[in-house]
Amino acid sequence: MPKVVIVGAQWGDEGKGKIVDIFTSSVDAVVRFQGGNNAGHTIIVKGEKTVLHLIPSGILHPGVVCVIGNGVVVDPEVLLEEINDLKKRGFLSDDSQLAISEEAHLIMPYHKKLDQLRESRKGKDKIGTTGRGIGPAYEDKMARKGIRFCDLENPEAFRKKLTDILSRRNERFVKMFQTEPFDINKIFNDYLASYQKIKKYIFNTSLLVNGLVKKNKNILFEGAQGTSLDVDHGTYPFVTSSNTVAGGACTGAGVGPTVIDEAIGISKAYTTRVGSGPFPTELEDETGKLLQTKGGEFGATTGRPRRCGWLDLVVLKHSVRVNGLTGLVLTKLDVLSGFEMIKIATSYEIEGKKIEDLPASLELLNQCKPVYEEIPGWTENISNLKRFEELPQAVKNYVRRIENFLEVPVILLSLGPERGEDIVIRNPFSSQ
């Protein structure tokens, strides 16, 4: 049975939550493999909005196992809030539906404080982080100074580790940032108290997921953010702190690459970006404002307005390559209704020279000017259509142009925020 990775193909905010929710009806498990509560996956069912930051987007489907993998960094306080909110609303009534990796690293109070202090000092050069401690938590993980859920199982060992870390960190906070030191006892007690409430969900999730693989179950691996925010393959340094690409599913879930059957990329029918960093097709005019207004382009996690622009096929071509995409989902296609002409960037230009691939150099990327192809738009409301054949010809032409350029088939069109406002062309979980 298929094992499919779903990733963002742009700079995040592509609507992955809704797409995961759609495909969850065909799977046995959903595995979140990277990121932290800097991601917000929004699902709307019968007018009720659910925003998930850590728990996989499949949690609204009873009977589906939802896994937070070892590649995710977890803020226990945020996780408990999310669990409690779901339970109050009638979800997660069966605790066996949620499994959290014992190897997942924890976001600590000093990570959040450091994240915020650093960003505030950068001024105009700030990265645009959410200030939730994700970057510093990953830094400690790579520096072998992180604290994992399994460390909380032994309070004595946890206290020693925390004391060793904070003895150095507190000195740095006081001397470098002139802030108050952290109270070791408070952090120790707070985190142990949180752990006792979370403990029943803690497992060796690599064993769990590989067990499901052996049982030939359908598994969806859910990524956060987007390909152009990948720490290796994104617009560095304006990126997140983890591997958002499909390959990250293996390390972040504890499975081998031979397990994965497909990689599906999620892209808006236009382009958005939150925070700082290069954005070649950004529209700082009335068209950009119109896209922002019609698309409701405000961050699910931060509420920050998203920068908007035309679809960038150079960015998507890069995403196809580094993810090995086998299919593409186009979201918010309905937002483009009413535009007389729609533009697609098919290449860039620097001082008259054509650039067909995404430059690694930030300096070069900032100089890139998009080369547009214009495609006739449409005026019809397409939200209620259920079959590709019912779409206006202009919409079909737009979709086909994207497919032909990227040489990847579009497998689903999202035509509105609600569950059911979509056209499924091919379900990767029922095509094999």
Q: Look at residue 124 in the predicted model and tell me its pLDDT.
A: 60
Same domain? 51 vs 65? yes
Contact between residue 110 and residue 147 where contact means Cβ atoms under 8 Å apart: no
* 239 lies in the same domain as 354: yes
pLDDT tens for the chain, 432 residues long, are 899 999 999 999 999 989 999 999 999 999 999 999 987 778 887 778 888 899 998 899 999 999 999 999 999 999 999 999 999 999 999 999 999 999 999 999 999 999 888 877 666 655 667 778 999 999 999 999 999 999 999 999 999 999 999 998 888 888 888 888 999 999 999 999 999 999 999 999 999 999 999 999 999 999 999 999 999 999 999 999 999 999 999 999 999 999 999 999 999 999 999 888 999 999 999 999 999 999 999 876 667 899 999 999 999 999 999 999 999 999 999 999 999 999 999 999 999 999 999 999 999 999 999 999 999 999 999 999 999 999 999 999 999 999 999 999 999 999 998 888 999 999 999 854
Residues 347 and 391 in one domain: yes
The verdict on residue 320 lying in a domain is yes
Does 430 map to a domain? no
Boundaries of domain holding 112: 105-200
Residue 431 lies in a domain: no
Residue 236 lies in a domain: yes
Q: Which helix (H) or strand (E) holds 49?
A: strand 48-52
Gyration radius from the chain CA atoms = 22
Look at residues 143, 168, 200 and tell me which one is the last residue of a structural domain. Answer: 200
Peptide bond into 109 cis (omega under 30): no
Same domain, 220 and 93: yes
Q: Are residues 252 and 372 in the same domain?
A: yes
The pTM assigned to this predicted structure is 0.94
Q: Please, which residues have CB within 8 angstroms of residue 174's CB and are 6 or more apart in sequence?
A: 180, 181
* Owner of token pair 């409430």: 197
Whether residue 63 is found in the same domain as residue 117: no
Q: What is the CATH number of the domain that holds 356?
A: 3.90.170.10
Which residue type does 237 have? P
Q: Domain total for the chain? A: 2
Point out the domain boundary residue: 159, 184, 200.
200
All residues at 6 or more sequence positions from 69 whose CB lies less than 8 Å from its CB, including other chains: 31, 32, 33, 34, 101, 104, 205, 209, 252, 253, 254
> Which of these, 208, 220, 214, 212, lies nearest to 31 by C-alpha position?
220
* 154 lies in the same domain as 37: no
Cβ atoms of residues 325 and 319 within 8 Å: yes
DSSP characters over 284-346 = -SHHHHHHHHHHT-B-TTT-PBPEEE-EEHHHHHHHHHHHT-SEEEEE-GGGGTT-SEEEEEE
302 domain-assigned? yes
Q: Are 321 and 228 in contact (CB under 8 A)?
A: no
Q: Is residue 322 part of a domain?
A: yes
Q: Cβ contacts of residue 47 below 8 Å, gap of 6+?
A: 418
The Cα–Cα gap between 391 and 382 comes to 7
The catalytic residues are 13, 41
Separation CA 150–CA 202 (nearest Å): 8
* Three-class DSSP labels, 229-247: HCCCCCCCCCCCCCCCCCC
Same domain for 348 and 391, yes or no, is: yes
Note the pLDDT of residue 39. Answer: 72
Residue 166 and residue 286 share a domain: no
Report if residue 429 sits inside a domain: no
**269 belongs to a structural domain:** yes
Q: Please identify, among 145, 168, 200, the residue that sits at the C-terminal boundary of a domain.
A: 200
Q: What is the pLDDT of residue 432?
A: 46
| Model pLDDT, residue 263 | 98
Do residues 7 and 321 make contact, with C-beta atoms less than 8 angstroms apart? no
Nearest-10 Cα torsion for 398, 404, 409, 415? -10
Statement to judge: residues 248 and 113 lie in one domain:
no
**Whether residue 184 is found in the same domain as residue 118:** yes
> Are residues 361 and 228 part of one domain?
yes
